[in-house]
Amino acid sequence: MTRLLDTSQQIADEGEEERVSRLLTGLSAMAILFLLGIGAKAWFATHTHHAFSLWFFAGLVAMNMLAFARSGNRRHQKAGMISIVGLLFGYLIITGGESNTGPLWFYVFPPLLFYLTDLKTGTAVLLFCCLLAVVVFQFPELPLVTAEYSTDFKIRFFATLTFESIFCFVLEASRLKARNELMELARAHQHAARTDELTGLSNRRDIQHRLSEEYSRYRRSGHHFSIVLIDLDLFKRINDDYGHDAGDYVLRAFSKLMQTVTRQTDVAARWGGEEFLILLPDTSLLQALTLAERLRSEVACAEFSYSGRRMPVTISAGICSIAKTGSVDELLKQADVHLYNAKEDGRNRVAPRVRTSSGDTSPSGAGS
């Protein structure tokens, strides 16, 4: 069950990564157009150095897109885009762009940064960029710094940038929280859809899905598997003589006992009513018979008491291996036939009974 939920989480994460990648590709294309256009404007305004710089950054964005198209590595795509945009804004702050308006483009950075990274990484990168802006604003005489800004511009720039950054942080935190809550709700619904409410075991729908998966694995790689179909003997008498609450107790207690006998790789499920099914991957018929006999013996020796009254509980089981059949339906039908035979032979036993070289049969149930 946990494996299925983890798989669903991975699928959801992969879907979101793909959406982010598509969005980033679109933003990259738009960025190239803007940089080429603004660079052309700077060229015609005789700001040739600024024009070449913008075209250079457009080339970097195009190279990042080409690298992603070849590798398909989304992590490198995001890291490359963030690095290019960070360098671009660093250039605009240091040079001022045209008419010292370059820093205004920095307002694009916080929402993009928080969307492409996690909150901690986004905050760290943003603080570093803000520190760079503070250094440039306070020390205009530094090498490569060619822009000077008024005190009023500096105050307004940092005030509005701080507000925007906090606002983007809160929005992204809220989005992530809502997404996680939706994922938890989806996991809860998925768990409920695949779990028997009374026993906590897999339900019929889930075990049928797992049987199909195991059969596909068997067809691909030849890994055999077996099933054990179990019925609680004379369960209706327990409900009639002790009450339905006692019957529910027996179902829950048997389910717990069954889970102590099965392996971690096995899947125990409530097949319906008082019937249960165990899926045994990589298990031969003889191994399945051995496990079923052990479970039968454990149940026969266990004490089932409810409200101080002890109830007689035994099981009958039909076992079948996929090697004996050609499909999941045939597997289930054959296991059901063996279960019927076990009950017809007196209950509290497993079937088929394996004949040994000495002529005896095993496993054998109590009373056989």
Residue reference for tokens 């009958």: 316
- Find the catalytic residue in 98, 164, 181, 274: 274
Task: Tell me the CB-side half-sphere exposure of residue 239, using CA atoms within 13 A.
Answer: 10
284: how many CB neighbours lie within 10 A of its CB?
Answer: 14
218, 284 contact by CB (below 8 A): no
162, 170 contact by CB (below 8 A): no
Residue reference for tokens 């308006």: 101
354, 265 contact by CB (below 8 A): no
What are the structure tokens assigned to 126, written together?
């943003």
Helix axes 119-138, 74-95, angle to 10 degrees: 20
Q: Which among 256, 262, 366, 242 is positioned nearest to 314, based on CA atoms?
A: 366
Rounded to an integer, what distance in angstroms lies between the CA atom of residue 15 and that of residue 167?
26
Helix then strand then coil, % of the chain, to nearest 5:
70, 10, 20
Q: Nearest-5° angle of CA 257, CA 260, CA 344?
A: 50
Rounded to an integer, what distance in angstroms lies between the CA atom of residue 129 and that of residue 65?
24
Residue reference for tokens 């980033």: 24
Task: Tell me the CB-side half-sphere exposure of residue 88, using CA atoms within 13 A.
Answer: 27
Q: Note if 274 is an active site residue.
A: yes
Residues catalogued as catalytic = 274
